[in-house]
Amino acid sequence: MLSVNRFRRLEAALRRRGYGPTIEWSEIIQPPNDADDFAERTIYVILNSGFRNSVAEPIYHRCVAALRTGLSATTVFRHPGKAPAIDTIWQAREALFEEYGRATDPIAFLEEIRWIGPVTALHLGKNLGLQHAKPDVHMERLARHDKTTTAKLCERLARATGYRVATIDTLLWKACESGLLKSAVYERHGWTAAISAEVSNEAWQPIMSDGYKALTAEPAPSE
C-alpha cells in the first residue's frame, strides 16, 4: 500500500532530481486570469495528451508564439487533429473562458472542448486549479494494487500530507513516469519490487525553494 512514508520517499527523490518547483507550483496554482491564459493552459494539456512532456513542451511554445502573432498553429505543428483544434480554441477563447466561468459543472464543460475528453478534462481541470486527480494508466495501476480508485488514493494521501489532491496526483504520476516507481511492477508485485534504488530509506526532509518559502511564510507580527 502507498503509505504516507512511501509517498514522502518518492517526494524526496523527486525533489533531489529538481522537481520541487513543479510540486510547489501545483500547490499555489490559481485559476486562469483571462481568456488567453485559459486557452494556453488548454493547449498545453492537448499537446501533452499522447506525447511525452519533453516532446510536447517545445511544440507548445512554438504554437503559442505563432498564435500570439496571428498565425495558425498549423504553421509550426502538423498534427492533422490537434493543430486545427488548437486554432479553434484560440479563436473561440473569449467565449470559452466566459462559459467556463459560468459552468456549474466545470469538468463536464471542459469535456465538450475540441480534443478534450473525459480523462483529459481532469488533467485540464488540475491545470486550471481544480481539485481533481487524473486516472491515467500509471495512477490506475497504483490504485488497483491498493484496491481503491485513483480519486480515493489521492484524497487519502492529501488528507494525510496536507497537499492538494491535484498535487498528490502530479507527484505520483511523475514518480512513475520518471521510473522511480514502476507502476506495472507495483500492480503485480508491490512496493519493494517496483521502486528504484534512488528511492531512499532516509527520513524525509522538506526541500523548498526560497520563492515558495516566501509565499507560504507567516506574516511578521506588527510592532
Tell me the pLDDT tens digit for each residue of 112-158.
999 999 989 999 999 999 999 999 999 999 999 999 999 999 999 99
* Range with the poorest average pLDDT among 6-15, 48-57, 163-172: 48-57
- Name which residue leads in pLDDT, 33 or 52: 33
Residues 186 and 137 placed together within one structural domain of the fold:
yes
Is the domain of 88 the same as that of 166? no
Q: What is the pLDDT of residue 205?
A: 55
* CA 32 remoteness from chain centre: 15
At residue 52 the predicted structure's pLDDT band, cuts being 50, 70 and 90, is: confident
For residue 218, tell me if it sits in a domain: no
Q: Which amino acid is at 104?
A: T
Within 13 Å and on the Cβ side, how many CA atoms surround 109?
A: 15
Range of the domain at 169: 4-28+133-209
pLDDT band at residue 165 under the 50/70/90 scheme: very high
Tell me if 49 is assigned to some domain. yes
Residue at a domain's end among 77, 106, 127: 127
Asked whether residue 140 falls in the same domain as residue 74, the answer is no
With a cut of 80, say whether residue 18 has pLDDT above it.
yes
With H, G, I as helix, E, B as strand and everything else as coil, classify residue 178. Answer: coil
State which of 107, 127, 147 marks the end of a domain: 127
Q: Which of 107, 140, 138, 135 is nearest to 121 (CA)?
A: 107
Residues 6 or more apart whose Cβ sits within 8 Å of residue 203: none
Report pLDDT for 221.
45
Rounded average pLDDT over 83-97: 98
The amino acid at residue 223 is: E
Cβ atoms 111, 130 nearer than 8 A: no
Are 175 and 13 in contact, with CB atoms under 8 Å apart? yes
Of 85, 101, 127, at which residue does a domain stop? 127
Question: What integer pLDDT is reported at residue 151 of this predicted model?
Answer: 95
pLDDT of residue 206: 53
Q: In whole angstroms, what is the distance from residue 62 CA to residue 71 CA?
A: 11
Does a structural domain hold residue 216? no
DSSP annotation of 181 reads: B
Inform me whether the pLDDT recorded for 211 exceeds 90. no
Is residue 215 situated within a structural domain? Answer: no
The answer to whether residues 63 and 73 touch, using CB atoms and an 8 Å cutoff, is yes
- Tell me what percent of the residues of the chain surpass a pLDDT of 90: 86
Confidence of residue 53 (pLDDT cuts 50, 70, 90): confident
Q: Name the grid cell of 132.
A: 481533481
The reported pLDDT for the residue numbered 35 is 98
Same domain, 100 and 45: yes
Task: Count up the domains in the chain and report the number.
Answer: 2
39 and 122 inside one domain: yes
Q: Are residues 24 and 39 in the same domain?
A: no
Question: Do 19 and 47 reside in the same domain of the chain?
Answer: no
- Cα(32)–Cα(98) distance, rounded to whole angstroms? 11
Residue 222 lies inside a defined structural domain of this protein: no
| Mean pLDDT of the 95-104 span | 98
Same domain, 153 and 198: yes
Rounded to two decimals, the pTM is 0.78
Q: What is the mean pLDDT of residues 38-62?
A: 95
